[in-house]
Structure 1
Amino acid sequence: MAKPRRNIKFNHRNGHSSSIDGRRSSFSDISEGASEPGSPVNAGNGAAALPETGPSEYEKKKQTFITRSIWTFVMIGAFFGAMFMGHLYIIAIVTAVQIISFKEVIAIANVPSRARRLKFTKALNWYWLSTTMYFLYGESVIYYFKHIVLVDKVLLPFATHHRFISFMLYVIGFVFFVASLQAGHYRFQFTQFAWTHMALYLIVVQAHFIMNNVFEGMIWFFLPVSLVICNDIFAYLCGITFGRTQLIKLSPKKTVEGFVGAWVLTVIFGIGMTNVLMRYSYFICPVNNLGANLWTGLECTPNPVFSPRTYQLPIWFPFAKSFSMAPMQIHILIFATFASLIAPFGGFFASGLKRTFKIKDFGDSIPGHGGMTDRMDCQFIMGFFAYMYYHSFIAVYKVSLGGVIETAITGLTAEEQMELVKGISKHLYNQGVIPDTVLDCMNIAVHRR
């Protein structure tokens, strides 16, 4: 019998050669490999094809950058469009930001409620929001438009008893919450109660003061918002250019160099932007007509803070004896400093909150940017500061038409109000504003009373 020949390799009929050790690959191995998903076999030569791969990391980053850029321009366009169209549109945007941000923050803690199947948890959250907004918006409407609200027969009872109505609405929600407590879920429900009230204070209340800034003049809204946005951009540019020292562990990418560099550039930007905005009455005048826009404009006596003043320099100063500058240029240094050194801590707070719940973003309201809260975390505290600073150091308090009407309605009897009307009518007649026929009609009405 012939001896088998050693060390001789044969090509198999299926086109596969033997392995290095001389053993033949089994058909079952090939068939199993071909049957596995993601491991296709070339029909021509039986060799395994390369596995299909998804988009590369570069493609993903490119797509994210494009989406983020598009929505950035969309938001900028919507913001400037609303600002030029009028104060009412800006108020609508602020209201939308309030609601969306509140929804995003509440959603973080509301995830367990679906598993526990507790009734009324979500409904109570929205009830608290509605009650809070009713109180805050009512306060603003009564304060800024009392000359309209207090003379309306339907709105007068709501205006005079607004705070009591708001308190009773809150009490109703409080009683309903206590009645809905269930054994075994007390800790969770009280945590939800505290979480909701924290969101109301940090988001809804602070955003409400941003809306009040709009009523005081568009500049008090636009400047704080633009300062925060530009500071964020400057911090990023300075950080990637010469940032070396980490600023805070909550945000590892924030650097001391970027923080300080953004402060300097934000101050420069604030001074230049203020010089531009002070020239237009549309920005510096308080709202006296909600139908006004950039083209119709507003008319008012400018706040003295926008009028240039002459400041004397010390005698020993070599170059000049005095200089002229609007006080607003000094105030803007404070605004820019707060936007650069304090407002970012609103973002750090939000970062810590996200780390606590192990989430990347608060939501996906804005494609490429995450949630609304991710973009507004610094704006809330900045807007609150702008309101407090304005009313503490800049606002000029004087008698207003709404204040006089409020005093007459709430502090005088009906007979005294008629005498007031008679006296004002006589004064207007003496000034030639109204004819004698109107005066006679007023006198007849008073006598009939």
Structure 2
Amino acid sequence: MDEDEVVEAVATEKNSIVDGRNKAESAASNTVAETAERQKKKQNFIVRTIWTLVMIAGFFALMFAGHVWMIALVALIQTLTFREVVQIASEPSLDKQLPFTKALNWYYLATTVFFLNGESVLYYFQNIVFVDKYFVTFAVHHRFISYCLYLMGFVFFVMSLQKGHYRFQFTQFCITHMTLLLVVGQAYFVIRNILNGMYWFFLPASLVITNDIFAYLCGMAFGRTPLTQLSPKKTVEGFIGAWFFTVLIGIGLSEILSRYQYMICPVTDLSANAFSGLHCVPNTVFVDHTYAIPQYLRNLLHRETFVARPIQLHTIILATFASLIAPFGGFFASGLKRTFHIKDFGNTIPGHGGITDRMDCQFLMGFFAFMYYDTFISDRHLTASVLLQQAVKQLTAEQQLELLAGLSRYLVVSERIPDTAFSCIENFIPEHLRSWDYLR
């Protein structure tokens, strides 16, 4: 072996030693990185689990505390969601130059809440609002007042437009109004669900959570076919499997919940809670009903009828919506996050991300639950409070006195009130109304 070969052999050996050292260092570095990643995932899992238990405990505590606390919870969630969504397109440098942008966002939120929640007050507490002299003006002119408040914000927005910032300002304006429609508007109907009965809030929310859990489990076990590019981890198998289990669990859950009047009774007293209870005549959908079995199944089942609560059949439809339609609220949110290149809407809930990341399907489900209840379940009829509202809002003062005179006379004739009571009322009725024959 000549001198050149020796030098080459030595160089090769040195290179192999260096390569081996680099590989060892790289392997050690990868091991450290993998260990750190495992520790991070473990820590995140622990935090996520703890906060999940905290949220579950807090939710049930508020639900048992009463309807007013659940309404406050929904109001808080809608506010936090609104803040997270409108912030995704914000630019701190421009926010400092345009200080009224954020103020306008919150002003629009306040006017929208005033309009929507005012409607709820008028609808559910007519017997109080329309007989109180301090509230009656607000009640009669509520919608006009709300519209005027909005117009003030609109005019201020136009006046605040600055050259060079039009794109940013109009982007914020559009996102704010989209959020008001899709979040605050739908949250209003969720609050209406609570007032219609805790059942109509708790069951739809539970169906969405159940579907989310089983979509994950079925996807892990059977998932093969991607469902949508917006959420690559979602699979067709998980989607269908979750629907099946959501329907089964929904039927069982509806059977349990329908046994408790606190869950099924509409709100008549906001001070009520799970311990003071509510009492009402249950809606017929919560009462057992006998159904005839189709002729071709009778020989197979060896019976002609079966007993079930109609609400269980309605729950199948609600569970189907929660499984097949409500998830698209989540897909919409995923698309929005991809548009702005963000992983989560925020970090409001440790280990879970933002409120919006957890509520994206719930708003859509709550809106559907209200529409379904109002169309197929509600048994409301013409009531004294409804008539009172119409009389206050649509009749003149003289027509209201005419109504009072006619109703008073009818109550006297039917012996519901004594003659002396009508004599007292008659003193306040104009002469030309007292002279009518039917009042004599």
**Superposition TM-score, scaled by structure 2 size:** 0.85
* 436 and 381 in structure 1: CA distance in 2 versus 1, 3 angstrom threshold: same
* Distance (whole Å) between structure 2 residues aligned to residue 171 and residue 413 of structure 1: 29
Aligned to 2:219: 239
Contact 1:246 1:252 in 2 (8 A): yes
* Residues 1:356 and 2:336 are matched in the alignment: no
Mean Cα displacement is larger for which, 272-281 or 302-311?
A: 302-311
* Distance (whole Å) between structure 1 residues aligned to residue 129 and residue 330 of structure 2: 39
Mean Cα displacement is larger for which, 299-308 or 285-294?
A: 299-308
How far the C-alpha of 1:116 sits from its partner, in A, is 6.8
Of the three residues 138, 148, 166, the one matched with 2:128 is: 148
How far the C-alpha of 1:392 sits from its partner, in A, is 1.6
Aligned to 1:293: 273
For residues 208-357 of structure 1, the aligned pairs below 5 Å read 208-317=188-297, 318=299, 319-357=302-340
* 113 and 161 in structure 1: CA distance in 2 versus 1, 3 angstrom threshold: farther
**RMSD of aligned C-alpha atoms?**
2.5
- The residue type equivalent to 2:164 in the other structure is G
* 58 and 91 in structure 1: CA distance in 2 versus 1, 3 angstrom threshold: same
* Distance (whole Å) between structure 2 residues aligned to residue 164 and residue 407 of structure 1: 17
Contact 1:285 1:299 in 2 (8 A): yes
How far the C-alpha of 1:422 sits from its partner, in A, is 5.2
- The residue type equivalent to 1:122 in the other structure is K
SS in 2 for 1:254: strand
Aligned to 2:174: 194
For residues 60-75 of structure 1, the aligned pairs below 5 Å read 60-75=40-55
SS in 1 for 2:361: helix
**Superposition TM-score, scaled by structure 1 size:** 0.83
- The residue type equivalent to 1:139 in the other structure is E
* Distance (whole Å) between structure 1 residues aligned to residue 217 and residue 371 of structure 2: 31
* Distance (whole Å) between structure 2 residues aligned to residue 77 and residue 116 of structure 1: 40
- The residue type equivalent to 1:366 in the other structure is I
Mean Cα displacement is larger for which, 175-184 or 427-436?
A: 427-436
How far the C-alpha of 1:314 sits from its partner, in A, is 3.0
Unmatched tracts of structure 2, length 5 or more: 1-12, 15-28, 435-440
* Residues 1:179 and 2:162 are matched in the alignment: no
Unmatched tracts of structure 1, length 5 or more: 1-19, 22-49
How far the C-alpha of 1:299 sits from its partner, in A, is 1.9
Contact 2:219 2:237 in 1 (8 A): yes
* Distance (whole Å) between structure 2 residues aligned to residue 236 and residue 369 of structure 1: 15
Of the three residues 52, 58, 80, the one matched with 2:60 is: 80
* Distance (whole Å) between structure 2 residues aligned to residue 194 and residue 281 of structure 1: 43
* Distance (whole Å) between structure 2 residues aligned to residue 84 and residue 435 of structure 1: 45
* 337 and 166 in structure 1: CA distance in 2 versus 1, 3 angstrom threshold: same
* Distance (whole Å) between structure 2 residues aligned to residue 129 and residue 119 of structure 1: 17
For residues 351-430 of structure 1, the aligned pairs below 5 Å read 351-418=334-401, 420-421=403-404
* Distance (whole Å) between structure 2 residues aligned to residue 265 and residue 411 of structure 1: 50
What count of residue pairs does the alignment treat as equivalent? 400
* Distance (whole Å) between structure 2 residues aligned to residue 281 and residue 372 of structure 1: 31
Mean Cα displacement is larger for which, 236-245 or 339-348?
A: 236-245
How far the C-alpha of 1:439 sits from its partner, in A, is 5.4
Contact 1:243 1:255 in 2 (8 A): yes
Aligned to 1:45: none
How far the C-alpha of 1:435 sits from its partner, in A, is 6.8
Contact 1:113 1:121 in 2 (8 A): no
Mean Cα displacement is larger for which, 438-447 or 66-75?
A: 438-447
SS in 1 for 2:307: strand
SS in 2 for 1:161: helix
* Distance (whole Å) between structure 2 residues aligned to residue 426 and residue 113 of structure 1: 71
Answer with 1 or 2: which has the greater Rg: 1
